[in-house]
Structure 1
Amino acid sequence: MQRVIFHIDMNAFFASVEQSANPALRGKPIAVVGSGGRTIVTTSSYEARAFGVKTGMAVWEAKRCCPELIVVVGDNRKYTHTSSEIMSIIRDYSPVVEVFSIDEAWVDVTGSINLFESAENIAYLIKARIKHRFDITCSIGIAPNKLLAKLASDLQKPDGLTIIKPEDVSRIMERMPVGSLCGIGKKTVRELKVMGINTCGELARCDQGRLTRKFGIVGARLKQMGEGKDDVPVIPFGEEDEVKSVGHSSTLERDIDDPQEIRRFLLQLSEKVGSRARRYNVSGKTVAVYVRYADFFTSFSKQTTLRSYINLSDEIYKAALALLEGVELEQPVRLLGVKLTNLKSQAEQLPLFEDDRKKLFATQAMDKLNAKFGNRAVTFGSLLPGKEKAGNHVIPPSWRPDGIKNVDVE
């Protein structure tokens, strides 16, 4: 049976949620930003986009494009709640839903079509329910595979519905720019252009050996993408590959070079990583630190592999701190990240020594209190309320409504 795949993309999601919640913002050019003093535009409304305001712009730059721009500090809990509710609506039409990000999902409706007459009817039902419940719109692409469904959803925005039928794939792909395909980034676009390849049609006709010599094993995949082929299934929650890492990074509210401040922010990130690892009962043997300097372009990462598996926040912090103290920082720090990798499921086993058992029991008690009363209700003394927090609290792209990638938001 020919697969029927949806890609559902919420239109200007953060901005649309804010406009829905506050009628005074409707029809106005708005930009949603993080909660920090130094932040960037995370999403702009279509009214602001008409003036050239784009995601990733500094606020001053966005206001230069649109002097009437209204800047709104984002409410992450509102967005994550809305996203979870939308995904619940989508699952009413198929259980095979793969969440791609907070505002995107693929859905395999192949087995559901007979229940709802047609794929097009399912799409209109989903759009209508989201509009009725949240007063926001989405664009939906319908195609035989995930690659083409994602492409289709981008063709008509906002509030679009685009169907790519199997018999139309070759015609549509012939003049489609290669950069339109999900998975082909700017660097690959530049390298293909040097080879004289600008469109998907040209990519499809390119000799596979030539692509393989240039891109290695990825070359065969690129040729298939140019042809509009993709056999990767929609993978619902619970059936994904094992998570290989737990990490957290954040752009700091200001560039810092004070070692004490850096250590405090590093501890905060280590606590976030440890908390998630413990929640999902995994531990890791490798700790990595990522640093981006104030000039934005210069960065480095270091990692160390320990003798034993860990998931306690203070142990993650000690390993991360040792890595950072082994480097002479050349500039003030703009971004910090901590990651725990080389994971395994953590068996329930009490430590041998009493001091280690006390530390474990204290950590478990802290986790239970935080789960009941909210994130950081109980934490390390240096992270108590009143102390400066790291970062602008923008939702990371890896956020998911379920599982280990469900990062606590502030």
Structure 2
Amino acid sequence: MKWNSKTCIALVDMQAFFPSCEQIDFPELMNKPVAVTNGEAGTCIISSSYEARAYGIKTGMRMQEALRLCPEIIKRPSRPKRYAEISANIISALRNITPDIEVFSIDECWMNLYPILDLYKGVENIATMIRQAVYDSSGGINCSIGISEGKLTAKFVAGVNKGKTAIVSADKIKEYMAPYPLEKFCGIGDRILQYLNDRGFKTIGDLQKAPHTVLSIKYGIVGKRIHSACNGHDPVELITKESLPKSIGHSKQLPPFLRDRNIIESTLLHLTYRLTRRMRLLNIRSKSVRIYLLSKYKLIRKIYYFKQANNCNHEFIKAVKAHMQLYRGEPLLKLGIKCWEIEYNDSEQLDLFNEPYNSKHLQCDIAMDKINQRFGDNTIRPAMEYMVDKLDLVPVIAFNFNATSKSKNSL
């Protein structure tokens, strides 16, 4: 197939990634319905194998409901570090084909194929190489490959051809997408979908016939890009270099309706230690921290400000202690901590009358970091973390996790 466009993008999507990792590591699970949950005590399905999906099992479904639909379903607690390891292996293998890769999530990436079309004698050969690289580097995972002119169109093509390789050239992509419902297109979420449906737009073809102002008048440049991409034009380039984070944080789903104050505070402190350690690793600080506790009917959220931007455990712990004073014993579902006002140490504006934040507490944190870097994670850590260990709170990988990125690594 001769490529007739100046751009050529592939979207590679690993199929049922978490359960596939489980089936690879435990061959007895092959061809069986598998549901991955957040830890041994987890009751919510975060991913399921295609054998399970055939019974109607979906992400977000409770295990109790899943067992009614499929009594023989096999529950597997998630293993985030293992998934990250396999993801990193796959990305490393794909970089041997082309270094121009944008990692979209733990199981998806875009690849710029245009510079290597002649080298590998066409797009079909490259697609075959990609599929083989994913399979070999992961130990047997299948993938969907969508190839088109742009990022969003490539993702669309992969999404409607699960488990297959689909190649749609620039001159045919508009016609190819037209019959599909709007919700199949990446970027059209529930709100935009409802907005378009209320105005009579049901398919991508319906939107193609309308002026871009249908979306841009309400959603600005984002709406204009969606309209343009639905018409087959998506000039946005791949982000192949890692960008610096604008925010940084951690959150945790809790065992159902937890209300033990000591465990809640210990879990929040555990997230705080992880957060400040990452901040020191990335050489960033913050002037504030936002902490929240979420119950079924109430959100306890507050921003705490520091006198100076810092990444010191001691300062963050004071904020956690203050926030726990707001807790009144409600059964909690989730909690989290996040920094928005990030500063990078190498870009600090010097103040003649204000020394950069430093303290004996920070020096102690740095010493702990060095010990853990030399002898392994958790060689030295606060005693309260052993209380958190007993909860079996398995680290959660968000679906936008990037196994090759320090800034997005939440393990």
Note whether the superposition's TM-score is higher than 0.5.
yes
Whether 2:141 is the aligned partner of 1:136: answer yes
SS at the partner of 2:322?
A: helix
Q: Give a deviation string over 1:272-304, Cα, whole Å, max 9, x none.
A: 111111111111112112332136xx5454323
* In structure 1, distance between residues paired with 2:162 and 2:291: 39
2:369 pairs with one of 359, 367, 370: 367
Distance 1:347 1:166, change over 3 A: closer
1:74-94 CA deviation, whole Å, 9 max, x = no partner?
222221111101000110111
1-side partners of 2:213 and 2:222: how far apart? 11
Secondary structure of the residue aligned to 1:403 is coil
Q: CA deviation at 1:324?
A: 5.0
AA of the residue aligned to 1:343: I
- The Cα offsets for residues 190-241 of structure 1, whole Å up to 9 and x where unpaired, read as 2211111111121222233343444345432332233232221111133x3x
Which residue does 1:312 correspond to in 2? Answer: 312
Aligned residues of 1:141 and 1:154 also touching (Cα < 8 A): yes
Kept in 2: contact 1:98–1:236 (CA 8 A): yes
**Match of residue 385, structure 2, among 368, 383, 386:** 383
Is the alpha carbon distance of 1:398 and 1:391 closer, same or farther for their aligned partners in structure 2, counting shifts above 3 Å?
A: farther
Alignment partner for residue 273 of structure 1, among 267, 272, 275?
275
1:21-79 deviations in whole A, cap 9, x for unaligned?
22211111111122141332121111111001111111111111111101112222221
Alignment partner of 1:77 is 2:81: yes
Deviation at 1:310, TM superposition (A): 1.3
Conservation of the 8 A alpha-carbon contact between 1:38 and 1:392: no
Task: Tell me whether 1:399 sits opposite 2:404 in the alignment.
Answer: no
How far the C-alpha of 1:247 sits from its partner, in A, is: 0.6
User: Does 2:69 match 1:58?
Assistant: no
Residues 59 and 237 (structure 1), Cα distance of their counterparts in 2 relative to 1, 3 Å cut = farther
Question: Secondary structure of the equivalent of 1:404?
Answer: coil
Q: How does 1:324-343 map to 2 (within 5 A)?
A: 324-325=324-325, 327=326, 329=328, 331-343=330-342
5+ residue gaps, structure 1? none
Alignment partner of 1:261 is 2:300: no
Deviation, 1:5, is 0.4
Return the match for 1:6 from 7, 10, 34: 10
| Alignment map for 1:9-24 (pairs within 5 Å) | 9-24=13-28
Structure 1 residue 169 corresponds to structure 2 residue 173 = yes
Give the match for residue 252 of structure 2: 250
Paired positions, count: 400
Q: CA deviation at 1:188?
A: 1.7
Task: Name the residue aligned to 1:199.
Answer: 203
Identity of aligned residues (%): 32
Q: Quick check: 1:287–1:320 contact (8 Å CA) kept in 2?
A: no
More deviation in 389-398 or 329-338? 389-398
The alignment partner of 1:250 has SS state of strand
Q: Which amino acid aligns with 2:249?
A: G
Segments of structure 2 that go 5 or more residues without pairing to the other structure are: 349-353
Shift in alpha-carbon separation, 1:49–1:88, aligned structure 2, 3 A: same
What SS class does the counterpart of residue 384 from structure 1 fall into?
helix
Distance of 2:82 and 2:389 partners within structure 1: 25
Q: Matches of 2:374 and 2:65 in 1, distance apart?
A: 41
**C-alpha separation in 1, matches of 2:191 and 2:394:** 28
Q: CA RMSD in A?
A: 2.4
Q: Distance in 2 between matches of 1:367 and 1:348?
A: 23
Give 1:383's aligned amino acid.
E
CA contact (8 A) 1:15 1:43 kept: yes
1:222 maps to 226
Q: SS at 1:24's partner residue?
A: helix
3-state SS of paired residue (2:245): coil
The within-5 A match list for 1:111-122 is 111-122=115-126
Shift of 1:380: 1.8
CA distance in 1, matches of 2:46, 2:389: 25
Q: Secondary structure at the match of 1:306?
A: strand
Change in Cα spacing, 1:393 to 1:387, as seen in structure 2 (3 Å) is closer
2:72 is aligned to: 68
- Cα separation, 1, equivalents of 2:162 and 2:225: 28
Contact 1:289 1:324 in 2 (8 A): no
Deviates more, 1:357-366 or 1:336-345: 357-366
CA pair 93-306 structure 1, distance change in 2 beyond 3 A: same
